Amino acid sequence: MERIPILKMGRHLLVTIQVDMHDRLAMSLQDDLTDRIVSARAKAVLIDISALEIVDSFIGRMIANIAAMSRVLDAQTVVVGMRPAVAITLVELGLPLKGVRTALNVEHGMALLKAQLDNSDDRDADASH
Amino acid sequence: MPTLHTEERPIHSSEDVVLVRQAVRARAVQLGFSLVDQTKLVTAASELARNTLEHGGGGTMRLELVEEGARRGVRLLFADQGPGIADLQQAMKDGFTSGGGLGLGLGGAKRLSNEFDIVSRPGEGTRVTIARWR
Amino acid sequence: MATQAQAQTLVEILREDERSLLHEWLEAQLESTTMRSTLLTRSELQDQSRRFLDALKAALDHGGLDSASPAYEGVRQLLEEMSTARGRQGYTPSETATFVFSLKQPLFARLRERFKADAGELAATTWGATLLLDRLGLFTTEVHQKGREQLIIRQQEEMMELSTPVITLWDGILALPLIGTLDSARTQVVMESLLQKIVETEAPIAIIDITGVPTVDTLTAQHLLKTVAAARLMGADCIISGIRPQIAQTIVHLGVELNDVVTKASLADAFAIALRRSGLSVQRMKDSSASSIRRVRPQDQEAEG
């Protein structure tokens, strides 16, 4: 079965989601990531969703789960590259995405993580309104 | 109001849900929906398709291209022969934090659509209809 | 006489005297005061009329007098093309319908000639023909209407796009000055174009200035908040500036929750915050009265006010 590749960059993991995932694929990604965070002793996970045209509540919950599990394993999660149409739809859907930081792209995401390390800044990306 | 085109899709697996998304997207593009409207429609369809699969035990989606005066739209009907919903009002309330459950699918799909209708009784399955106009 | 036979009679009439019928019909069209010869040349009109007669003959042959039957598809398509084109050229619905209605005159003249001795037959066939032509004429009106509606919708969309410019104040800092009243549709267009610009310029800060917005109702406020929420999901922050005292009152009165959305009274204040967040500061240059915007070193960066 196909799996979504996880790239290791130093102490960071980068996941680029490029396919319209069906549920089993999403679940296996969650499992793979958790394993990898532990085995790589990763400090952060960047999830690049710039190729996703749809993020529904299932994918949203997957992302929130990944963020929650990462935090337990002492790693940060940053979601990057959300498309405008997806963002607008998620706000309308009312999906909170608690505890998930966001950035415009991988570069900004890395800068965010670095700044965090420097300042222990704790801005939350809570989108619920 | 005239129906320009009808198609039916089975929903019996998570791959079917992906196919439903693709079919709805294709029709929305064909009708010339804006990108945001396409996304809202496909996302709503995804939510309802998932509900049909997980809570309805599988079912079908019927897609109709409809026309009313100068405007055109897409109407989707999700039907299953599952357990049905006892308390519709409760089901429509958002239950995101409860990590699953009908609530978030229905309330969300309603917010993302121009029209929303649901018929469901315990033991009689569920039929959810949504529509979005161009 | 059954309607099929009536249809046959009409076909015969259309066939046997085609040239002079076409000529009379053309004259009737040009004569009626509603036709504008400046928009269509005589030969274009003649061409359209001839094609209509051909299509009508074929339809009568296979579909009788029933304009809704599939045999009339060719006629309907022709009328649809024609109506849409004329609508765009500026013809009124009446002018377009006259195309069909003015065929009655030459047609009925020939029916009178043919049924000189049979008043009953004359009445019946004339009635059948008039019903058919009436329906076809009304069809052109419907198409005409639809065309105008679509044009209006397109123009509205274009207007909305034009009135929402997003400005780059500095690298990574956008500004969206909103002017005028914000209705639901316009606010949505505004929202989308701001978010699109954020992606294109990769700007993590956007200032939405509402100095030029006289009133804000609940729906508009909600839309603004949704824009801010969507931007945050994408990885950008919004600052809302230009909140006038009346609007501040309205917002509180409406019970709209601003939560952690940063708001500033003026665009200038918002810009100052945006600069600071971007690690930039404005400094006066030593030997002139001008200033420059320079990147601040990390250790100089103040804590955010």
Q: Are residues C150 and C185 in the same domain?
A: no
pLDDT at C234: 96
Mean pLDDT in residue range A73-91: 94
pLDDT at C37: 59
Instruction: Kindly state whether residue A49 falls inside one of the protein's structural domains.
Output: yes
Chain B residue with minimal CA distance to C188? Answer: B36
Report the alpha-carbon distance of residue B110 to residue B117 in Å, rounded. 8
Higher pLDDT, A99 or C161: A99
A45 alpha-carbon distance from chain centroid: 7
Domain boundary among C140, C158, C176: C158
Q: Are residues C111 and C172 in the same domain?
A: no
Report the alpha-carbon distance of residue A79 to residue B37 in Å, rounded. 23
pLDDT at B51 over 70: yes
Instruction: Kindly state whether residue A106 falls inside one of the protein's structural domains.
Output: yes
| Domains: count for chain A | 1
Cβ–Cβ < 8 Å for C110, C17? yes
pLDDT at B127 over 90: yes
Report the alpha-carbon distance of residue B106 to residue B42 in Å, rounded. 14
pLDDT at B96: 45
Instruction: Kindly state whether residue C47 falls inside one of the protein's structural domains.
Output: yes
Q: Are residues C237 and C183 in the same domain?
A: yes
Beta bridge partners of C169: none
Asked if A88 lies within 8 A of C202 by C-beta distance, the reply is no
Average pLDDT of chain B? 88
pLDDT at B104 over 70: no
Q: Are residues C58 and C14 in the same domain?
A: yes
Asked if A23 lies within 8 A of B99 by C-beta distance, the reply is no
Q: Residue B43: is it exposed, middle or buried by C-beta count within 10 angstroms (0-12/13-18/19+)?
A: buried
Q: Are residues C146 and C201 in the same domain?
A: no
Residue with tokens 């099929």: C4
Chain C residue with minimal CA distance to B69? Answer: C146
Q: How many CA atoms lie within 13 A of C130 on its CB side?
A: 10
List the 188-227 stretch of C: residues with Cβ below 8 A of A. 191-192, 195-196, 198-199, 202, 204, 225-226
C300 alpha-carbon distance from chain centroid: 54
Report the alpha-carbon distance of residue A103 to residue C248 in Å, rounded. 30
Report the alpha-carbon distance of residue C241 to residue C92 in Å, rounded. 48
Chain A residue with minimal CA distance to C235? Answer: A103
CB contact B26 to A (< 8 Å): no
Beta strands (DSSP E) in C201-261 are: 205-212, 237-241
Among B34, B36, B70, beta carbon nearest to C150: B70
Report the alpha-carbon distance of residue C144 to residue C96 in Å, rounded. 8
Asked if C149 lies within 8 A of B69 by C-beta distance, the reply is yes
Higher pLDDT, C232 or A129: C232
B100 alpha-carbon distance from chain centroid: 17
pLDDT at C94: 87
Report the alpha-carbon distance of residue C102 to residue C30 in Å, rounded. 10
Structure-token pair, residue A34 = 């958790």
Q: Are residues C153 and C11 in the same domain?
A: yes
Q: For residue A24, what are the domain limits?
A: 6-119
Report the alpha-carbon distance of residue A52 to residue C284 in Å, rounded. 46
Instruction: Kindly state whether residue C115 falls inside one of the protein's structural domains.
Output: yes
Among B34, B36, B70, beta carbon nearest to C149: B70
pLDDT at B114: 95
Report the alpha-carbon distance of residue A83 to residue A87 in Å, rounded. 6
Q: Residue B51: is it exposed, middle or buried by C-beta count within 10 angstroms (0-12/13-18/19+)?
A: buried
Higher pLDDT, B45 or A11: B45
Average pLDDT of chain A? 87
pLDDT at A86 over 60: yes
| Domains: count for chain B | 1
pLDDT at A119: 62
Q: Are residues C143 and C287 in the same domain?
A: no
Instruction: Tally helices (H) and strands (E) across chain A.
Output: 4, 5
ipTM above 0.95, yes or no: no
Q: Are residues C189 and C294 in the same domain?
A: yes
Q: Are residues C116 and C260 in the same domain?
A: no
Cβ–Cβ < 8 Å for A80, A102? yes
List the 75-104 stretch of B: residues with Cβ below 8 A of A. 94, 96-97, 99-100, 104
Straight-line distance from the first to the last Cα atom of chain A, in angstroms, rounded to the nearest whole number: 39
Instruction: Kindly state whether residue A1 falls inside one of the protein's structural domains.
Output: no
Mean pLDDT in residue range A105-126: 74
Among B34, B36, B70, beta carbon nearest to C146: B70
Q: DSSP character for A104?
A: S
| Domains: count for chain C | 2
Mean pLDDT in residue range A65-90: 94
pLDDT digits (tens, 9 = 90+) for A13-58: 999 998 888 888 889 999 999 999 999 999 999 999 999 999 998 8
Instruction: Kindly state whether residue A124 falls inside one of the protein's structural domains.
Output: no
Provide the 3-class DSSP secondary structure of residue B132: strand
Interface size, chain A vs chain B, as Cβ–Cβ contacts under 8 Å: 67
Asked if A54 lies within 8 A of B43 by C-beta distance, the reply is yes
Q: What are phi and psi of C304, to 5 degrees?
A: -70, 130
The distance of B80 to chain C (nearest Cα, Å) reads 34
Residue to mutate among C190, C201, C233, C258, with most A CBs inside 10 A, is C233
Read off the CATH number of the domain in which A75 is found.
3.30.750.24
Among C191, C229, C298, beta carbon nearest to A129: C229
Q: Are residues C145 and C183 in the same domain?
A: no
pLDDT at C38: 62
pLDDT at A77 over 60: yes
Nearest alpha carbon to residue C106 among C82, C133, C140, C77: C133
Can you spell out the DSSP letters for C259-270?
TT-EEESSHHHH
Q: Are residues C134 and C9 in the same domain?
A: yes
Read off the CATH number of the domain in which B115 is found.
3.30.565.10
Chain B neighbors of A84, CB-CB under 8 A:
36
Q: For residue B117, what are the domain limits?
A: 3-133
Residues on chain A bordering chain C, Cβ-to-Cβ distance under 8 angstroms = 79-84, 87-88, 90-92, 97, 102-105, 108-109, 118, 125, 127-129
Read off the CATH number of the domain in which C273 is found.
3.30.750.24
CB contact C161 to A (< 8 Å): no
Provide the 3-class DSSP secondary structure of residue C126: helix
Q: DSSP character for C175?
A: E
pLDDT at B97 over 60: no
The distance of A10 to chain B (nearest Cα, Å) reads 33
Domain boundary among C105, C127, C158: C158
Where is B59: in which H helix or E strand?
Answer: strand B59-68
Nearest alpha carbon to residue C275 among C257, C291, C260: C291
Residue to mutate among A58, A61, A82, A86, with most B CBs inside 10 A, is A58
Q: Are strands B3-11 and A101-103 parallel, antiparallel or unpaired?
A: unpaired
- Apex C229 CA angle, B106 and B20, nearest 5: 35
pLDDT at C164: 67
pLDDT at C6: 86
Report the alpha-carbon distance of residue C275 to residue C281 in Å, rounded. 6
Report the alpha-carbon distance of residue B47 to residue A28 in Å, rounded. 20
Where is C248: in which H helix or E strand?
Answer: helix C245-254
Nearest alpha carbon to residue A12 among A36, A47, A43: A43
pLDDT at C35: 54
Instruction: Kindly state whether residue A32 falls inside one of the protein's structural domains.
Output: yes
For every one of its 305 residues, what pLDDT tens digit does chain C have, with 9 covering 90 and above? 567 888 888 888 888 888 888 999 988 888 775 556 566 777 888 888 999 999 999 999 888 888 888 889 999 999 999 888 887 777 888 888 988 999 999 999 999 988 888 888 899 999 999 999 999 999 999 998 888 888 888 887 777 666 668 999 999 999 999 887 777 777 888 889 999 999 999 999 999 998 888 887 778 888 888 899 999 999 999 999 998 888 888 778 777 777 677 888 899 999 999 999 998 988 888 776 667 777 766 555 554 43
Q: For residue C81, what are the domain limits?
A: 3-158
* Helices C119-162 and C3-16: angle between axes, nearest 10 degrees: 80
Which one-letter amino acid corresponds to residue A91?
V
Mean pLDDT in residue range B95-123: 76
Chain C neighbors of A122, CB-CB under 8 A:
none
pLDDT at C300: 56
Asked if C235 lies within 8 A of A80 by C-beta distance, the reply is yes
pLDDT at B95 over 60: no
Cβ–Cβ < 8 Å for C225, C216? no
Read off the CATH number of the domain in which C48 is found.
1.10.490.130
Cβ–Cβ < 8 Å for B17, B50? yes
Cβ–Cβ < 8 Å for C116, C39? no
Residues 6+ apart with CB under 8 A from C256: C218, C221, C222, C225
Among B36, B69, B70, beta carbon nearest to C192: B36
Q: What is the pTM of this model?
A: 0.69
pLDDT category, A80, cuts 50, 70, 90?
Answer: very high
**Residues counted in chain B:** 134
Q: Residue A58: is it exposed, middle or buried by C-beta count within 10 angstroms (0-12/13-18/19+)?
A: buried
Chain A residue with minimal CA distance to C303? Answer: A119
Report the alpha-carbon distance of residue C305 to residue C291 in Å, rounded. 22
Chain C neighbors of B34, CB-CB under 8 A:
192
